[in-house]
Amino acid sequence: AQSVTQLDSHVSVSEGTPVLLRCNYSSSYSPSLFWYVQHPNKGLQLLLKYTSAATLVKGINGFEAEFKKSETSFHLTKPSAHMSDAAEYFCVVSGSDTGGFKTIFGAGTRLFVKA
């Protein structure tokens, strides 16, 4: 069965410092993996996606993520945080599983950025 775990419910960084949001996944088959961002009272916006091509994926707003099959991880990083990055981030796994095609959302990580 597929599952996704975001290891931190909250992360706090100072503006200009690196961001690391951690995500581990479990899947019986080769999954596709995504990161979405949600600002308060808004819908989710796709940041980046991994679909079995390059393992280092670059997304919008300077974010990137690396797919590590051996560690079953897909952590999201950004070299330098900006105040506008403060939001909630969701790691998502999609793919075929024993019960058919499924998309599973992580519980979310709220990113705080301090001035």
Q: Does 63 bind another protein (CB under 8 A)?
A: no
Give CA separation, 101 vs 1, 44, 46, 67, in Å: 11, 21, 20, 21
Say if CB 108 and CB 88 are below 8 A apart: yes
Q: Does 41 bind another protein (CB under 8 A)?
A: yes
Q: Least distance to another protein from the beta carbon of 104, Å?
A: 8
Q: Does 3 bind another protein (CB under 8 A)?
A: no
Q: Does 90 bind another protein (CB under 8 A)?
A: yes
| CA 93 to centroid of chain Cα atoms | 9
Q: Least distance to another protein from the beta carbon of 63, Å?
A: 16
Q: Does 26 bind another protein (CB under 8 A)?
A: no
Interacting residues toward another protein by CB under 8 A: 9, 32, 34, 36, 41-46, 49, 51, 90, 94, 101, 103, 105-108
